């Protein structure tokens, strides 16, 4: 299995390598380690608010006219930090796919039970 994954990765890399035109380097490259911007691992308040808003919007699309706030709370409570960050980043950059992300969280048994409980108490 590991060999097949490595072979697939190598084949993909070789295929993509043909897509890039060689560019002359004007300055020497730094010899030290290359640093990249780290992916956020902590959900800040602004990102949480954006993710909550997106999730609420997706829930309203599926349940028009209903008070979806308790259902949104269930989705947020059962999402991982990484998922909430992804939802917030996708919405900020205009990338579609937030509906799929929300649907994946809703399909989890714990989320489904939470939503069912919220619906019974409403």
At 50-91, the pLDDT tens digits run 999 999 999 999 999 999 999 999 999 999 999 999 999 888
Q: pLDDT category, 95, cuts 50, 70, 90?
A: confident
Query: pTM (2 decimals)?
Result: 0.63
Mean pLDDT value across the chain:
77
Percent of the chain with pLDDT over 90: 48
Question: Stretch 15-29: mean pLDDT, rounded?
Answer: 49
Per the model's pLDDT, the better-predicted residue between 97 and 122 turns out to be 97
- Residue 59 pLDDT: 93
- Report how far residue 42's alpha carbon sits from residue 93's, in angstroms, rounded to the nearest whole number: 19
Residue 12 DSSP code: H
Q: 114 to each of 1, 89, 108, 117, 118, how far by Cα in Å?
A: 38, 26, 10, 5, 6
Which of 58, 62, 61, 76 lies closest to 114, judged by CA? 76
- Residue 46 pLDDT: 86
């Amino acid at each position: 299995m590991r060999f097949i994954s490595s072979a697939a990765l190598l084949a993909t890399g070789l295929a993509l390598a043909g897509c890039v035109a060689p560019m002359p380097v004007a300055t020497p490259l730094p010899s030290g380690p290359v640093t990249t911007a780290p992916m956020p691992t902590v959900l800040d308040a602004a990102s949480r608010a954006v993710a909550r808003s997106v999730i609420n919007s997706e829930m309203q699309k599926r349940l028009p006219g209903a008070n979806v706030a308790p259902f949104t709370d269930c989705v947020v409570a059962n999402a991982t930090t990484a998922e909430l960050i992804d939802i917030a980043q996708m919405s900020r950059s205009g990338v579609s796919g937030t509906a799929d992300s929300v649907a994946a969280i809703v399909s989890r048994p714990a989320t489904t039970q939470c939503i069912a409980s919220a619906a019974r108490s409403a």
